[in-house]
Copies of this chain bind each other. A is one copy, B any other.
Amino acid sequence: MVLMAKVRQTIEVNSMFSRDDLVVVGVSGGPDSVALLHSLLGLAARGGYRLHVAHLNHHLRGADSDRDAEFVRDLAHGWSLPATVESQDIGRLRREWRLGVEEAARLARYRFFAELVEQLGADCVAVGHNADDQVETVVLHWLRGAGLAGLRGIRPVSYLEVGQAWKRGQGQRLSLKVVRPLLKATRQEVESYIARHKLASRVDATNVDVSLQRNRVRLELLPYLEQYNPQFRQAALRTADLLAQDYDYIESKVQEAWSSLAREEDGAVVISLDEWTRLPASLQQHILRRGAEVLLGDLTDISAKNVLIAAEAMRGGTVGTEITLPRELRVVKGYDDFRLLLGEPSPAPAIIGEHKLTIPGTTSIPEIGWDVVSTVGAQPCPTMGQNPWHADLDGDAAGPELFVRGRRPGDVFQPLGMRQTKKLQDFFVDAKVPRRTRDEVPIVASPSRIVWVAGMRIDDRVKITKDTQKVLCLTFVRRDGH
């Protein structure tokens, strides 16, 4: 099939454009974007949509970058198309955004597209990814161990939330529809098209975006894989399309679940732990991933491994468990929900001083939002199930006077089940309590020693035995507002 027919089919099958749409076309000046613009021009009249050329000068290759911009301006003029050509100092932006040059250039470009689409009242931006880009993308994702979201590769139509991701909190967030009419055409087909129509093009400036790894995949790995399966490229494209179907289906189910278990609040995404925990593992992952996407606008740099680690921490971790992922994305486990939020973590509220427990009775510790309820009896409390915030202790072994306090240097205790004492510090490390939240863990102690690291483990020497005469029941209860 010639390129033009493939482009038309891709546009139709994916309902990319409607009559009277204004389509911004991202043109770098390289062969892909020139072929894209030329073929769209050939189809626009019949399709009833209009085109507007967009080019962002990245200033990454000196005078060459300026010549690219000039080339695109001339091309648009020659084909009587309106064009917007802008400049941006990527060097400055990448420092500001703390990103690699490729990533900064890509994000700057999409921000430019989003703003232009908004400003023109256009419908979408068309960009020049081809089928070989797709194969390379899925191979790269596969090499680093992606999940369904990554393995489906680049989609013909996608939506980006542009803004917050890299200018956090500054200014509005724009939703950008990105379409890729060349996605089913191979690089070879693009080159033949360029030759057949005698089109001029520049060395693809977006190649500055091409990582070393992608170039190695293109030039070395793919030809090597074709020794194993000469049809490997088609196989990889088929896999991507099949997985995209599965992804879309699962996402439709995520969508159904989303509104009941997630909400946005103060710039955070808050997810109900109870509902989330009851979902199948697949949906748990996909919901976490979506939370990150809602917050960041896209999932650049957030890997399947990141999501997996966060999901495991939210399933298994104690209250206060916090995972920090790339792009300053934090996932923090609360009492009955967990939060995804952005930015450097603030230091956790440390427990200051000592709080003497009223036994029996209720002791409030407002600074950390807990009440501690204590009772004394002959039997252990009716089971509190797996509540880590409840403990039954031998009242005589624990002693009459107990305090809640924060950890102190040199603290040791003898975790239930162990024969020897252990440094509290080592216990926290082994239990993977994040360094930052260690000061919030309430320690229940007598004047002489720790009896319970609340939420985690009692001391072996205060456990209930057959000789226990007096059972002390302690329960931490959250106060409203926490």
On whether the beta carbons of B242 and A148 are closer than 8 Å, the reply is yes
On whether the beta carbons of A145 and B238 are closer than 8 Å, the reply is yes
**A-side binding surface: helix, strand, loop or mixed?**
helix
* Chain copies in complex: 2
Decide if A282 is an interface residue (CB 8 Å cutoff). yes
Please name the residue on chain B nearest to A249 by beta carbon.
Answer: B282
Decide if A396 is an interface residue (CB 8 Å cutoff). no
On whether the beta carbons of B242 and A285 are closer than 8 Å, the reply is yes
**Residues 145 to 170 of chain A near chain B (Cβ within 8 Å):** 145-148, 151
Decide if A411 is an interface residue (CB 8 Å cutoff). no
**Residues 230 to 250 of chain A near chain B (Cβ within 8 Å):** 231-232, 234-236, 238-239, 242-243, 245-246, 248-250
Using Cβ atoms and an 8 Å threshold, which residues of chain B touch A315?
none
Partner of A221, one of B151, B228, B282, B305: B228
Decide if A95 is an interface residue (CB 8 Å cutoff). no
Using Cβ atoms and an 8 Å threshold, which residues of chain B touch A228?
143, 213, 216-217, 221
* Range of interface residues on A (Cβ < 8 Å): 35 or more
On whether the beta carbons of A246 and B148 are closer than 8 Å, the reply is yes
Known: A245-B280, A249-B283. A225 touches B143 (CB 8 A): yes
Distance to closest chain B CB from A258 (angstroms): 16
**Residues 26 to 83 of chain A near chain B (Cβ within 8 Å):** none
Known: A143-B229, A145-B235, A213-B228. A242 touches B280 (CB 8 A): no
On whether the beta carbons of B143 and A305 are closer than 8 Å, the reply is no
Decide if A384 is an interface residue (CB 8 Å cutoff). no
On whether the beta carbons of A146 and B239 are closer than 8 Å, the reply is yes
In this complex, which of A232, A249, A252, A283 has the most chain B Cβ atoms within 10 angstroms of its Cβ? Answer: A249
Question: CA A200 – CA B296 in complex, angstroms?
Answer: 56
**Residues 77 to 117 of chain A near chain B (Cβ within 8 Å):** none
Question: CA A283 – CA B253 in complex, angstroms?
Answer: 13
Decide if A314 is an interface residue (CB 8 Å cutoff). no
Q: Mark A124-159, 1 if CB is under 8 A from B, else 0.
A: 000000000000000000111111100100000000
Known: A216-B228, A228-B143. A250 touches B239 (CB 8 A): no
Using Cβ atoms and an 8 Å threshold, which residues of chain B touch A308?
238, 242
Known: A151-B239, A238-B308. A144 touches B229 (CB 8 A): yes
Using Cβ atoms and an 8 Å threshold, which residues of chain B touch A282?
245-246, 248-250
Please name the residue on chain B nearest to A148 by beta carbon.
Answer: B246
Question: CA A282 – CA B152 in complex, angstroms?
Answer: 13
Known: A228-B221, A245-B282, A282-B245. A304 touches B239 (CB 8 A): yes
On whether the beta carbons of B144 and A235 are closer than 8 Å, the reply is yes
Question: CA A216 – CA B246 in complex, angstroms?
Answer: 31
Decide if A335 is an interface residue (CB 8 Å cutoff). no
On whether the beta carbons of A242 and B142 are closer than 8 Å, the reply is no
Using Cβ atoms and an 8 Å threshold, which residues of chain B touch A250?
246, 249-250, 282
Using Cβ atoms and an 8 Å threshold, which residues of chain B touch A231?
145
Using Cβ atoms and an 8 Å threshold, which residues of chain B touch A281?
245, 248-249
On whether the beta carbons of B235 and A143 are closer than 8 Å, the reply is yes
**Residues 171 to 221 of chain A near chain B (Cβ within 8 Å):** 213, 216-217, 221
Question: CA A209 – CA B236 in complex, angstroms?
Answer: 26
On whether the beta carbons of B216 and A280 are closer than 8 Å, the reply is no
On whether the beta carbons of A305 and B238 are closer than 8 Å, the reply is yes
On whether the beta carbons of A238 and B304 are closer than 8 Å, the reply is yes
**Residues 259 to 302 of chain A near chain B (Cβ within 8 Å):** 280-283, 285
In this complex, which of A224, A228, A231, A283 has the most chain B Cβ atoms within 10 angstroms of its Cβ? Answer: A228
Using Cβ atoms and an 8 Å threshold, which residues of chain B touch A285?
242, 245
Question: CA A142 – CA B233 in complex, angstroms?
Answer: 11
Q: Given A142-B142, A143-B235, A245-B282, list of 4 further CB < 8 A pairs?
A: A151-B239, A249-B253, A249-B281, A249-B282
Interface residues of A (CB under 8 A from B): 142-148, 151, 213, 216-217, 221, 224-225, 228-229, 231-232, 234-236, 238-239, 242-243, 245-246, 248-250, 252-253, 280-283, 285, 304-305, 308
A/B interface sample: 10 pairs, CB < 8 A: A145-B229, A147-B243, A216-B228, A235-B305, A238-B305, A245-B282, A246-B250, A246-B282, A249-B250, A249-B281
